[in-house]
Amino acid sequence: MKLTRSEAACYTFQEQFKGVSTVSGLRFLTSGESHGKGLTIIVEGIPAGLPLTEAYLARDMARRQKGYGRGGRMKIEKDAAEILSGVRHGLTLGSPIALWVQNRDWENWRVSMSVEPVDEPVTPVTRLRPGHADLPGAVKYNHTDVRNVLERASARETAARVAAGGVARRFLEEFGIAVHAHVRSIGNVTANVPDPIDWERVEASPVRCADPEAERPMMDAIDAAKAAKDTAGGVFEVIATGAPIGLGSHIQWDRKLDGRIAQGLMSIHAAKGVEIGLGFTQTTLPGSKVHDIIEPWAGSDRPKWQRRTNNAGGLEGGMTTGQSVVARVAIKPISTLIKPLPSVDLLTGEEVLAHYERSDVCQVPPACVIGEAMMALALADAFLEKFGGDHMAETRRNYQGYLKQSGQAD
C-alpha cells in the first residue's frame, strides 16, 4: 500500500507510540534498591493547583513504618518523601512530580551496593529463598548473584508506593474521597469488625485492628511465629468512601475498575489473593441474597441512587456504584525466615539452607497502608480519566457538572 507523506508521518507516529495510552489519567513509576542510595518516584497526571507539601506526605510514610512484627530495618530508617520537582510554593504545577526517599541504611552498604565498580570482592548471594523472587529473577535476568534480584524485589520498594499514594490521596481528598484500611486476620485469629469502624482506634492499634478483643491474640500469634523463628500472614481490608457513580468503564476489559484495583493490590509484596465486596462468599449464596437492590427515589433530602446492601463492594460492571469501594487482600507469611527452609545453591545446585536477609515477622499491619496507597492511585487514575482537567478548577467544574447531570447532586 502506497502512503502519502502525511499518511506515512502519521503511521510512523502511531507505530512509535503503539500501546501507549492517550487517555488522561494518573501514572507513576518507582526506582531504587533496598540498600541503594534511595528510592525515586515519578507521579504524572496531577492537575496544577493541588495543595501538596512534604509534611502531608510524611504522615503516610511514618504510618507504613509502624506495626507489630516489624524488623530491625525500621529502627534505622526514618522515611520522608522529599519533593524534588512539580510543586512550587505548595501547589502542583501540572508537570510530573518527582519524589525522593533516602535509604539511611545505604551507609552500611556502600561497597556491596556501589554504583561504580569496586576493587574489593563482594560475596555473592547464591542460596535461594523459596517463596521469594530469587530463583525466577536470577534465571530470567541471567544473574549469578541473587542480590541483583532481591534488592529490587524487596518490600522496601513499597515506601515509594506510599509516597506516590500520598499524592493520590491528597488529590482525592479535594473531592471528598477517603481511603482507610484495617487488619481482618493474622494467622488463625480473625477480628469481629464493628460497623461503623472507629478509624482512630485502628490507627492507635499496634496491629491496625478495629476489634479490641482480637488485638492481643493477633499480637500473640506474631510473637508465637517469632519464637518459632517463623513468619505470619493474614488478611487486610481497604475501604474507599465518597467515590461517585461511574468511575471506570464496562467498555473494555482493561478499563474495568475492579480489575485495575485488583491488579494494584495484587502487586503488593506477599499479596496472594484479592476479593471485592463479598468476594468468594458470594459463591455460596443464591443470587437473591447477593445482588444489591436499588431503592426507589425518596425526594431531595438524600441522594437519588440508594442500595439496600453493598455486597458488590461498590463496583458493578467495572464501574463504581456510589457506595464504598471494599477490597480484601490475603498476605502470605514472609518468605525470609530466621530458621531457613531447605533450598539449593543457584550456581552449584547443591542442597543448602535458604539465605537469611534481615526481615519482618509479619507484614499485614503495614500492608494496610500500602493497600491504601494502591487503592488511592487506582481511584485517582480513574477519576482523572473521567473528569480530566489541566488545573484543579477545571477538574472540579467537570466533576460538579457530572454530579448534577447524573442526579448525584442537586
Mean pLDDT confidence for 291-299 = 85
Count of CB atoms situated within 10 Å of the CB of 274: 20
Confidence at 17, pLDDT banded by 50, 70, 90: very low
At 357, list the grid cell: 536477609
Q: Tell me, what's the pLDDT at 22? A: 43
Hey, what amino acid is at 207? V
Confidence at 160, pLDDT banded by 50, 70, 90: very high
How far is Cα 192 from Cα 187, in angstroms, rounded to an integer? Answer: 15
At 399, list the grid cell: 466533576
Domain count, the chain: 1
Confidence at 20, pLDDT banded by 50, 70, 90: very low
* Enclosing domain of residue 340: 25-405
Residue 238 pairs in a beta bridge with 181, 327
How far is Cα 236 from Cα 275, in angstroms, rounded to an integer? Answer: 11
Asked if residue 20 is part of any domain, the answer here is no
User: What CATH number has the domain bearing residue 360?
Assistant: 3.60.150.10
Q: Tell me, what's the pLDDT at 76? A: 65
Res 117 pLDDT > 70: yes
pLDDT digits (tens, 9 = 90+) for 183-226: 999 999 999 999 999 999 999 999 999 999 999 999 999 999 99
Asked if residue 5 is part of any domain, the answer here is no
Whether residue 260 contacts residue 382, with contact meaning beta carbons closer than 8 Å, is answered with: yes
Asked if residue 7 is part of any domain, the answer here is no
Task: Answer yes or no: pTM beyond 0.85.
Answer: yes
How far is Cα 242 from Cα 237, in angstroms, rounded to an integer? Answer: 17
Confidence at 98, pLDDT banded by 50, 70, 90: very high
Confidence at 6, pLDDT banded by 50, 70, 90: low
pLDDT digits (tens, 9 = 90+) for 349-378: 999 999 988 778 999 999 999 999 999 999
Mean pLDDT confidence for 155-183 = 97
Q: Tell me, what's the pLDDT at 52? A: 98
Confidence at 18, pLDDT banded by 50, 70, 90: very low
pLDDT digits (tens, 9 = 90+) for 243-292: 999 999 999 999 999 999 999 999 999 999 999 999 999 999 999 999 99
Phi and psi, residue 19, nearest 5°? 90, -5
When the pLDDT of each residue in the chain is averaged and rounded to a whole number, the result is 91
pLDDT digits (tens, 9 = 90+) for 41-74: 999 999 999 999 999 999 999 999 888 877 655 5
Report the half-sphere exposure of 118 (CA within 13 A, side-chain side).
Answer: 11
Helix (H) / strand (E) element for 79: namely none
Asked if residue 6 is part of any domain, the answer here is no
pLDDT digits (tens, 9 = 90+) for 69-88: 776 555 666 889 999 999 99
- 10 Å CB burial of residue 162 (0-12, 13-18, 19+) is buried
Mean pLDDT confidence for 283-303 = 84
Asked if residue 52 is part of any domain, the answer here is yes
Asked if residue 410 is part of any domain, the answer here is no
Residue 408, CA distances (Å) to 280, 302, 308, 313 in order: 31, 10, 17, 19
Q: Tell me, what's the pLDDT at 277? A: 96
Asked if residue 69 is part of any domain, the answer here is yes
Mean pLDDT confidence for 305-311 = 91
Phi and psi, residue 31, nearest 5°? -145, 150
| DSSP-assigned letter for residue 87 | E
Asked if residue 327 is part of any domain, the answer here is yes
Q: Which of 34, 71, 68 is nearest to 360 (CA)?
A: 71
How far is Cα 269 from Cα 111, in angstroms, rounded to an integer? Answer: 27
